[in-house]
Structure 1
Amino acid sequence: MDTPAFFFTVFLWCFLISITGYSLYVGFGPPSQNLRDPFEEHED
């Protein structure tokens, strides 16, 4: 448990989980109201 690889693995998992959580918050949470859809703007 004292190996640097263990701590690097834990750090990497925490980093990936936090990035995923932030992306879900921005994509589906309150900030998503400010996002624009370029496909809806250019419909024919």
Structure 2
Amino acid sequence: MEPATVLIISLAAVTIAIAGFAIYTSFGPPSQELRDPFEEHED
């Protein structure tokens, strides 16, 4: 494989991994531990 192809595939894999982790953190089981500061300080 050419070095440019390996670089593009690597960057795409890292980008997809970060996006997947962000979605998992936002909507998966870890989201139960997140707090909403706006909801805590309602008047």
- For 1:5, the equivalent position in structure 2 comes to 4
> Which portions of structure 1, spanning 4 or more consecutive aligned residues, are displaced by more than 3 angstroms?
none
Give identity over the alignment, percent. Answer: 53
Deviations 1:9-36 (Å, cap 9, x if unpaired)?
A: 0000000000000000000000000000
| Structure 2 residue ranges without an equivalent (≥5) | none
Cα distance in 2 for partners of 1:5, 1:38 equals 44
What is the TM-score of this pair, normalised by structure 1? 0.90
- For 2:41, the equivalent position in structure 1 comes to 42
Cα distance in 2 for partners of 1:5, 1:42 equals 51
Task: Count how many residue pairs are aligned between Structure 1 and Structure 2.
Answer: 43
